[in-house]
């Protein structure tokens, strides 16, 4: 029975971790039942089981959140609004020409972090000068500022991307 309760607590922790981020001081509450054992020895078995279930729940929360952080750092949008970045990727659309600029969409494969390239995934919408012209299939190395898409009064770009099943992965970059 105890193993079933511990398994349920672990799964509950993973679920809770997917829904909210708990600060460490909240997690420390799970030790409370274990600290009460010397004072309430009559309920020792229940306190130990409760404490272990709370520890399993905490473990599930921490497991989910640590995995999520690793995945998030492998996405292009993690690097938004952090200054100048250098990315490499493939042009995946034909350019749109707008006056003296062209807008291209690039599927990003790598980003330079601490003077070495790291594999990532995501797409960027890039505004560059009209010349040289870029084409579908061109492999580019681009240096610029990754920016989170801005919301205007009549258009929410983040919502638009989420509806396309691509939340926050498209990032405008200014060269």
Cα separation of 140 and 2, whole Å? 57
- Over residues 51-58, mean pLDDT: 84
Q: Where are the domains of the chain?
A: 2-72, 76-174
Mean pLDDT (the chain) is 77
Task: Identify the CA nearest to 87 among candidates 132, 121, 129.
Answer: 121
- Over residues 18-28, mean pLDDT: 73
Name, of 8-12, 49-53, 70-74, 82-86, the range with top average pLDDT: 8-12
pLDDT for the residue 145: 79
Q: Is the pLDDT of residue 68 over 70?
A: no
Cα separation of 7 and 18, whole Å? 17
Residue 117 near residue 143 (C-beta atoms within 8 A): no
Identify the band that residue 172 occupies on the pLDDT scale cut at 50, 70 and 90: very low
CB contact set of 6 (below 8 Å; sequence gap of 6+) = 52, 53, 56
Tell me if the domain spanning 76-174 has CATH number 3.30.479: no
Identify the band that residue 155 occupies on the pLDDT scale cut at 50, 70 and 90: low
């Amino acid at each position: 029975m105890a193993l079933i309760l511990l398994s349920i607590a672990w799964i509950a922790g993973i679920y809770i971790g997917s829904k909210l981020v708990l600060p460490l001081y909240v997690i420390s509450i799970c030790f409370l039942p274990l600290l009460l054992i010397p004072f309430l020895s009559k309920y020792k078995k229940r306190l130990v089981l409760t404490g272990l279930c709370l520890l399993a729940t905490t473990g599930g929360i921490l497991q989910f959140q640590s995995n999520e952080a690793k995945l998030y750092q492998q996405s292009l949008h993690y690097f938004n609004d952090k200054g100048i970045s250098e990315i490499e990727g493939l042009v995946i659309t034909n350019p749109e020409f707008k006056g003296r600029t062209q807008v291209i969409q690039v599927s990003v494969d790598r980003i330079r972090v601490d003077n070495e390239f790291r594999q990532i995934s995501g797409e960027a919408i890039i505004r560059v000068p009209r010349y040289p012209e870029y084409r579908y299939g061109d492999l580019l190395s681009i240096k610029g500022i990754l920016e989170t898409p801005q919301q205007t009064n009549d258009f929410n770009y983040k919502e638009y991307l989420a509806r396309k099943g691509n939340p926050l992965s498209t990032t405008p970059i200014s060269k």
